[in-house]
Structure 1
Amino acid sequence: MNFGTEDLRSFIAVADEGHLTDTADKLGIPQPTLSRRIARIESALGTELFDRVGRSLVLNTRGTAFLAASRRIIHEVDAATTEVHRLMDPELGTVRLGFMHSLGTWLVPALLRQYRSQHPNVQFELVQADALSLAEAVLNDALDLAFVAPAPQLEGVAWHEVSTQQLAIAVPEDHRLADAKSVCLKDLENEPFVGMYPGYGIQILLERLCAATGFAPKIAFTTMEMTTVGGLVAAGLGIALLPMGDDRLIPDGVALVPLEPRTEREIGLVWREAQAENSPPVRMFKDFVLRSGRW
């Protein structure tokens, strides 16, 4: 194609006006320049688009068909240009943000509430998934940023800790450990665990902690929702590793027994190390998180 969007805009203007001289005046360009633009399109298409009637130009059937397509093209170009400018505006752009399901009850809503109070027009595309999938999505540029725990052991992603949660063992309220002040993992080797699917942060932690103690947890049930984990524990179907500090994850009938020694899960923000310069809205939100300190 040997013509550009300015040629198309000129063609549309001539089609609407029906006269070269008047159109050139409205566009503020010399008539020969306008004529060359029309000629460039007709040469590229290999046909004339106008019938000359006196001093007027009237679209022929080919020109009428091309006019409809030209309007669509210009509309798409204008919309795309507007979208690019919007994305480059830190106050109007979009941040693709991922987070683990368990962070949707406290950390992420609190952060977004504070951020949107200062930047109300920034848009967020929110994605919930397991920790490993989120880190891989950031690495593959399917997400801009993500909150995950623990720190991903994945080359190519950067990590910044934003919060911690003490870890405990969730047991049914009639369990022998329900009233204990603390518990060591080595004392739970023969207990059935309610676990989560591979790649979920709490499951990664459970497997790491048990491996460091010298055993693999016996998984009785597996789920993808931490609230379901609590429900299965309350039903007496096993014990589980869960974070403390979020009562919404713990149903009635469950007691939390802190791990001894004290153990925490580290929650952090991840982004792609090799990422080209972030778009302004992403960079601004990331800087906000990094400056905010502990949550």
Structure 2
Amino acid sequence: MEETRALIRRIRRMPAISLRDLGYFLAVAHSGHLSDSAATLGIPQPTLSRRIARLEEVLGAQLFERGGHQLRLNTRGEALIPAATAIIQQANLGFGQVHRLMDPERGTVRLDFMHSLGTWLVPELIRSYRSLHPQVEIQLHQGAAAHLIERVRAGLTDLALVGPKPDTELGWQQLRRQRLALALPEDHHLAHSTDPISLKEAAEEPFIGMLPGYGTRLLLDRLSAEAGFSPQLVFESMELTTVTGLVSAGLGVALLPLDDPYLAPTGIVLRPIDPPCYRELGLVWRRSEQEAPPVDMFRRFICA
């Protein structure tokens, strides 16, 4: 906070000089002639003369020695050259960056996603999009669903692929819907069938789950609470593939999505939850009247 106040104080002490006036000063400094500079800039010579005079008035010092039609930089003008040049260059660089970010074909999209989507959904979407728009920069970030939703809300990212659907004011588009199942070691006493099963039947079983805040963990917490029990967690992971592997090793049972293309259910039995429960996968974004064109185009591509 103190740093912000100090910056404000410095800004208030700065002279009210426009970038255009600095540009006019540099043009005259390089040519040494008002008439030549005015013709190059496409403005009347009296206008350019007034702008230079105004700059000198604001600074409280003459910058040129005048002789006839020529203007020669004095020591004060020479002292201003490096700073004025740096200011103009940095301003042009910043303007260029803003314009690039607003260019739908060359801008930047910040995309967050859950770990479990990094092996299939995210690569598929990026591969397809970059085949159509190869110069767009896509910045990626992985994390837990709850954390990613907060990042979108705080403006730290543009879009996030998460599940389940968040109970927030954010925009949401469902992309996939996976039925949930109870994953059991194949020698488990409940693994005699692949018929649907109530989650309550596993109330006394040790559970392998995702870490708090991760999408499938949010679903496990909600569904177990609805079934009237709190799961006994013997291990918590960041990866569904790890959860699947530990179930196959007989460490416990787990809540997993059916038909996930990268969860090879070797050594386990998947019994759909009854009544049917689903893992919704979708895209969230912050609603804005001024969404950047690259983000808007990418979002519309995903949601199509």
TM range (shorter): 0.7 to 0.9
Change (3 A) 1:52 1:240: same
- 1:268 maps to 2:282: yes
Post-superposition CA distance 1:97-120 (Å, at most 9, x none): 221111111112212222222222
Q: Which of residues 195, 198, 201 is equivalent to 2:212?
A: 198
| TM-fit CA distance, 1:265 | 0.5
Q: Which of residues 182, 203, 208 is equivalent to 1:189?
A: 203
In 2, Cα distance between equivalents of 1:67 and 1:245:
66
Q: What is the root-mean-square deviation in Å for CA atoms of aligned residues? A: 2.3
- Which position in structure 2 is the counterpart of 1:127? 141
Contact 1:177–1:257, Cα closer than 8 Å, also in 2: no
Q: Secondary structure at the match of 1:163?
A: strand
User: Residue type of the partner of 2:255?
Assistant: L
Post-superposition CA distance 1:125-176 (Å, at most 9, x none): 222111112222222222222111111122x212221111222233334433
Post-superposition CA distance 1:11-65 (Å, at most 9, x none): 1112222333332232233332222222222211112223446754343443233
- 1:279 maps to 2:292: yes
- Which position in structure 2 is the counterpart of 1:166? 179
- Which position in structure 2 is the counterpart of 1:36? 50
**Structure 2 unaligned residues grouped into runs of 5+:** 1-14
Q: Which of residues 226, 237, 242 is equivalent to 1:212?
A: 226
| TM-fit CA distance, 1:251 | 7.2
User: Residue type of the partner of 2:88?
Assistant: I
Once the two structures are superposed, the pairs formed by residues 1-295 of structure 1 within 5 Å of their partners are: 1-52=15-66, 56-154=70-168, 156-178=169-191, 180-182=193-195, 183-250=197-264, 253-273=267-287, 275-291=288-304
In 2, Cα distance between equivalents of 1:253 and 1:60:
85
Change (3 A) 1:61 1:197: farther
In 2, Cα distance between equivalents of 1:18 and 1:180:
91
Q: How many residues align?
A: 289
Q: Secondary structure at the match of 2:160?
A: strand
User: Residue type of the partner of 1:121?
Assistant: Q
Contact 1:166–1:258, Cα closer than 8 Å, also in 2: yes
Q: TM-score, normalised by structure 2?
A: 0.85
**Structure 1 unaligned residues grouped into runs of 5+:** none
User: Residue type of the partner of 2:236?
Assistant: T
Contact 2:115–2:238, Cα closer than 8 Å, also in 1: no
In 1, Cα distance between equivalents of 2:49 and 2:244:
75
**Which stretches of structure 1, 4 residues or longer, exceed 6 Å deviation after superposition?**
none
| TM-fit CA distance, 1:230 | 2.8
Change (3 A) 1:16 1:255: farther
Q: TM-score, normalised by structure 1?
A: 0.87
| TM-fit CA distance, 1:193 | 0.9
